[in-house]
Amino acid sequence: MASLRCFLRSGRNSAAVVLRRQFHKTPSACLQVTVRDALNQAMDEELERDERVFLLGEEVAQYDGAYKVSRGLWKKYGDKRIIDTPITEMGFAGIAVGAAMAGLRPICEFMTFNFSMQAIDQVINSAAKTYYMSAGLQPVPIVFRGPNGASAGVAAQHSQCFAAWYGHCPGLKVLSPWSAEDAKGLLKSAIRDDNPVVFLENELMYGVPFELSEEAQSKDFTIPIGKAKIERPGDHITLVSHSRYVGHCLDAAAFLAKEGIECEVINLRTIRPMDVDTIEASVMKTNHLVTVEGGWPQFGVGAEICARIMEGAAFNYLDAPAVRVTGVDIPMPYAKILEDHSIPQIKDIIFSVKKTLGV
């Protein structure tokens, strides 16, 4: 009986040692975090870090934001730093720009970037040009953020992508996140930047969960502005996209991989300044290029990428013309079936890849 107890005791001890070893070897688990919560974390951490940071916009305070991105911030930081505004974009965007000139670091939320057209004079003429026109004496550290591009069933006046609009303007930095990591890291970098930043989110991505690494969970985590990310390596063709359509490209790449076609998927992250070096390096490897975006084709982000490739060293490496997959060149229809045919679908990307490769 004593020998049995000794055996069981040694067995328990051995098991405990093994479990301890396994526990210490196990890496920290990634958290599942939605894009909405990642944006909320970024603003919360920067509000806590720097008392000059404040948020203003329609329904951002007591209502917790139209899309609940600012949930809980008003209760934590109060009326002075989380400010509800009237429905007057030109007015509160002007207040935010003035506050930035006076030394604060405002986050100006547009309920949708379609409404930023009401304030485009403040964004372009007041925010983007002042640093240059003052010979570097007057920075304007402000972030204009909110949902951009097509949502669902909101028709022509609420479905525009402004990446090309604002990406056209010198003096602005323009960011377009896809994942929760993008959203958190890029927004923190935008808030800390001394230049005006246009931060283009996507309403349909707010509720989408992504794994957030241990590094990205840190309050010190940022993503450098102007650097793209290769989301999936590949050898046969390069897919370049931003925002929601990065996910479409990855889904198309997974489908094409079953047919032996390996796509390299590049998440732009930043529209301006654009990381042309990463795109060129990929095209030199794959010899083929497809760009994917939700905006209109004429003077779009894809058009700029194609022009930069044609003008640069990577042009001589192309084995076929670069192809653009874009939104259709019409105002967005309201009917769902027409809306679906007006924006890129995964099948459109697959078709364009096969057409470019000649398979």
For 294-329, the pLDDT digits (tens) are 999 999 999 999 999 999 999 999 999 999 999 999
Catalytic residue among 45, 46, 58, 89: 89
Evaluate if residue 20 carries a pLDDT over 80: no
Q: pLDDT confidence of 19, banded at 50, 70, 90? A: very low
How far CA 315 is from CA of 17, 258, 289, 307, in Å, comes to: 60, 29, 10, 10
Q: Is the pLDDT of residue 10 over 80?
A: no
Q: Average pLDDT for residues 106-116, to the nearest whole number?
A: 97
Q: CB count, 10 Å around CB of 259?
A: 10
* pLDDT 10s digits, 93-105: 999 999 999 999 9
d(CA 121, CA 125): 5
Partners of residue 18 on adjacent β-strands: none
Residue 154 has pLDDT above 60, yes or no: yes
Residue with the larger pLDDT of the pair 24 and 225: 225
Pick the catalytic residue: 59, 158, 168, 262?
A: 158
Known catalytic residue: 59? no
- Average pLDDT of span 175-191: 98
Percentage of the residues of the chain whose pLDDT score is greater than 70:
92
Q: Which helix (H) or strand (E) holds 126?
A: none
Known catalytic residue: 89? Answer: yes
Of 192, 194, 300, which Cα lies nearest the Cα of 243?
300
Coil, strand, or helix at residue 92?
helix
pLDDT at 9: 45
Q: Whose structure tokens read 């806590």? A: 48
Residue 138: CB partners within 8 Å, gap ≥ 6?
Answer: 101, 130, 131
**pLDDT, tens digit (0-9, with 9 covering 90-100), for 322-355:** 999 999 999 999 999 999 999 999 999 999 999 9
The pLDDT value given to residue 27: 55
Q: Which whole-number Å values give the CA distances from 342 to 69, 258, 296, in the listed order?
A: 28, 27, 10
Q: What is the pLDDT of residue 29?
A: 64
pLDDT in tens, 63-89: 999 999 999 999 999 999 999 999 999
